[in-house]
Chains A and B, each alone.
Chain A
Amino acid sequence: MYPQNAFNLISEIADGKMNDLRQDLDAIQKDVEDNPYFNFTTIATIHFARFVILEEERDSFGKIIYPAYLAFETNYDGKLDDHLKDIVEHTKLNNGFDKVFCACKTFPGKDVITDTDRINFLKTNSQFNPYFYRGTWGRTVLQIKAEEETRNKIQSHLDKNPHQGFSERDMYKRLKEDVKPSFYNTEHPPKLSSLLWRLSPIILLVLFCLLYTLVYGLYFVLCLIQSWYLIVILPLTLHFLIIGVIVTLALTASVYYIILRHKEKTDKELKIFYDPNPDTISLKTVEDRIVQNQLTHLVELKPGSFRLFTLKMVLFLIETFGIYHFNKGNLGGIPSIHFARWIIIDKGKRLLFFSNYDGSWENYLGDFIDRAAVGLTAVWSNTKLFPKSKNLIFEGAVDEQKFKSWTRMHQIPTQVWYSAYKYLTVGNINNNTALQDGLKKQTVMTDKKLKEWLLKI
Chain B
Amino acid sequence: MYHINSQDRKDIQGLLVYGYAQLRSAYFIIFKIENVIGFKSWLSKTTFHDSGKGPEGSCLNIAFTAKGLEKLVGDKSKITKEAGFDQSFLEGMDTDNRNRILGDYDYNNPANWKWGNRNDETHGVLMIYAADDNLRDQVYKTESEKFQEALSEKYKSKSVRLNNDKEHFGFADGISQPVLRGLERKSNENNLINPGEIILGHLNAYDKRPLSPKIDGCDFGKNGSYMVMRDMQQDVKSFWKTLMKYGEDPIRIASKMLGRWPNGIPLSMAETEAEAINLKQEKEKKLSRGKLTAFLNDFQYYENDKDGLKCPMGSHVRRGNPKDTKNEDPKHPNEVSNKHRILRRGKSYGKPLAESMEIKDLIAAIDKPDNEERGLNFICFNSDIKRQFEFIQQTWMNNMKFAGLYDEVDPFVGVQGKYDKQADAFKMLPTKFSEPACPVRHKYNDIPPFVKVRAGGYFFFPGISAIKFLAE
| Cβ proximity bits B85-128 to A, threshold 8 Å, 1 near / 0 not | 00100000000110011000000000000000000000000000
Partner of B339, one of A358, A370, A431: A370
Is B439 a contact of A168 with CB atoms below 8 Å? yes
Chain A residues 339 to 380 lying within 8 A of chain B, measured CB to CB, are 358-360, 362-363, 366, 369-371
CB of B394 within 8 A of CB of A362, answer yes
CB distance from A388 to the nearest CB of B (A): 13
Interface residue ranges of B200-250 to A (CB < 8 Å)? 206, 208, 210-211
Q: Any chain B CB within 8 A of the CB of A398?
A: yes
Report if A333 contacts B (CB, 8 A).
yes
The reply to whether B81 and A400 form a contact with Cβ atoms under 8 Å apart is: no
A457 near B440 (CB under 8 angstroms)? Answer: yes
Question: Is the beta-carbon distance between B81 and A163 smaller than 8 angstroms?
Answer: no
Chain A residues lying within 8 Å of B391, measured Cβ to Cβ, are: 360, 362-363, 366
Q: Is the CB of B81 within 8 A of A274?
A: yes
Determine the distance from Cα of A4 to Cα of B81 in the docked complex, in whole angstroms.
43
Task: Provide the A375-393 mask, 1 if CB < 8 A to any CB of B, else 0.
Answer: 0000000000000000000
* A24 within 8 A of partner (CB): no
Q: Which A residues lie within 8 Å of B307 (CB)?
A: 455
Say how far B30's CB is from chain A's closest CB, in angstroms.
Answer: 27
Which residue of the partner chain A has the closest CB to B81? A274
- How far does the alpha carbon of A285 sit from the alpha carbon of B419 in the complex, in Å? 13
Tell me the minimal C-beta distance from A251 to chain B in angstroms. Answer: 37
- B324 contacts chain A at the CB level, 8 A cutoff: no
Contacts of A363 in B (CB 8 A): 391, 395
Quick check: A275 and B81 within 8 Å, CB to CB? yes
Smallest Cβ distance from B336 to chain A, in angstroms?
A: 5
Whether B440 lies near A163 (C-beta < 8 A) is yes
Q: Which residue of B lies closest to A426 (CB)?
A: B401
Bound complex: CA of A158 vs CA of B440, how far in Å? Answer: 9
Task: State in angstroms the CA–CA spacing of A275 and B386 once bound together.
Answer: 12
Q: Which residue of B lies closest to A457 (CB)?
A: B440
**Residue in contact with A274 in the complex, picked from B87, B206, B208, B436, CB distance below 8 Å:** B87
**In the complex the two chains form, is B206's CB within 8 Å of A427's CB?**
no
A358 CA / B326 CA spacing, docked (Å): 16
- Chain A residues, Cβ within 8 Å of B406: 151, 428
B328 touches A398 (CB 8 A): no
Among A166, A359, A371, the residue within 8 A (CB) of B328 is A371
Main secondary structure on chain A at its contact with chain B? helix
Contact B97 A166 (CB under 8 A): no
Interface residues of A in 111-132 (CB under 8 A from B): none
- A456 CA to B222 CA, complexed, in Å: 48
B423 within 8 A of A: no
Q: How far is the CB of B462 from chain A (nearest CB, A)?
A: 19
B399 CB-CB contact with A under 8 Å: yes
Chain A residues whose CB sits within 8 angstroms of the CB of B96 once the complex forms = 285
Question: Nearest Cβ in chain B — how far from A405, in angstroms?
Answer: 9
Q: Does B335 sit at the interface, judged by CB under 8 A?
A: yes
Is A291 interfacial (CB 8 A cutoff)? yes
Cβ of B186 under 8 Å from chain A: no
What does the 1/0 interface line of A388-431 toward B look like (CB < 8 Å)? 00000000001111000000000000000000000001011001
- Distance, CA A351 to CA B451, complexed state (A): 47
Chain B min CB distance to A289 (Å): 6
A454 within 8 A of B: yes
Contact: A159 with B445, CB < 8 Å? Answer: yes
Verify if A26 is at the interface (C-beta below 8 Å from B). Answer: no
Are B390 and A400 in contact (CB-based, < 8 A)? no
Are B339 and A159 neighbours in the complex by a CB distance under 8 Å?
Answer: no
Let me know if A262 is at the binding interface, CB within 8 A.
Answer: no
**Shortest beta-carbon distance from A84 to chain B in Å:** 31
Residues in A whose Cβ lies below 8 Å from that of B387 = 362, 366
- Select which of A291, A369, A370, A399 is within 8 A of B401 by beta carbon: A291
Would A163 and B439 be within 8 Å (CB), given that A288-B101, A360-B394, A428-B406 are in contact? Answer: yes
Q: Quick check: A399 and B440 within 8 Å, CB to CB?
A: no
Of B208, B309, B440, the residue contacting A171 (CB under 8 A) is: B440
B400 within 8 A of A: yes
B211 and A166 contacting across the interface, CB-CB below 8 Å: no
* Cβ of B472 under 8 Å from chain A: no
Q: Contact partner of B441 among A284, A288, A335, A457, CB < 8 A?
A: A457
Interface status of B443 (Cβ within 8 A of chain A)? yes
Cβ contact within 8 Å between A366 and B436? no
What are the residues of chain B within 8 A of A359 when measuring CB–CB? Answer: 395, 399, 401
Closest 9 CB pairs of A and B: A171-B439, A274-B81, A273-B211, A284-B97, A400-B206, A168-B439, A363-B395, A425-B401, A455-B307
For the A-B complex with A167-B439, A288-B101, A371-B336 known, give 11 more contacts whose Cβ atoms are closer than 8 Å: A171-B439, A274-B81, A284-B97, A358-B401, A360-B101, A360-B391, A360-B395, A366-B340, A366-B387, A370-B335, A454-B438
21 A–B contact pairs at CB < 8 A?
Answer: A158-B441, A167-B439, A168-B438, A168-B439, A273-B84, A274-B87, A274-B211, A285-B96, A287-B97, A290-B419, A359-B401, A360-B391, A360-B395, A366-B340, A371-B328, A371-B336, A398-B206, A401-B208, A401-B384, A454-B440, A455-B441
